[in-house]
Amino acid sequence: MGRTDAEKPTLPRRALPWLLLLYCAASLLHFAHNAEYVADYPNLPAWIFRASIYGAWCAIFLTGLGGYLLLHRGRTMIGLILLVIYTALGLDGLLHYARAPISSHTFGMNLTIWIEVLTAALALGAVLRLAASHLRRRAVNIRP
């Protein structure tokens, strides 16, 4: 027996695991580059050091993993909230440019920043579409 239209996974739901994996890899690449070349990044505060960068990546990753697992296990709202936080954090690489202009960063720095930002934006878009769809379905089901 086939699925009804309401049961069929939407494109954002089918794409989400792949977009999250892509963003996760890009994020790890950027954070690893930050950690290994921390002394070369312009105007970073002294309290940012190699281990703190890897620790921050782990905390961010666990937020995303928790969100995905909760979503997958039917805890849709909390899962989506955590995934919004996780993917939105991928845009924080742009804060490098608040400390120094693009021209002050090496090609490698700029490349890892923009790869992370672009993949995070794609994943965030899919998460927001899923959230909007979920909220619409809840609103329809709540109406008297």
pLDDT digits (tens, 9 = 90+) for 53-83: 999 999 999 999 999 999 999 999 999 999 9
Residue 9 scores a pLDDT above 70: no
pLDDT given for residue 142 in this prediction: 66
3-state helix/strand/coil string of 11-25: HHHHHHHHHHHHHHH
pLDDT digits (tens, 9 = 90+) for 87-136: 999 999 999 999 999 999 999 999 999 999 999 999 999 999 999 988 88
pLDDT given for residue 143 in this prediction: 59
Q: What are the boundaries of each domain within the chain?
A: 13-38+46-132
Q: Any idea of the CA torsion for 97, 114, 86, 22, to the nearest 10 degrees?
A: -170
pLDDT given for residue 1 in this prediction: 46
Neighbours of 143 (CB within 10 A): 5
pLDDT given for residue 28 in this prediction: 98
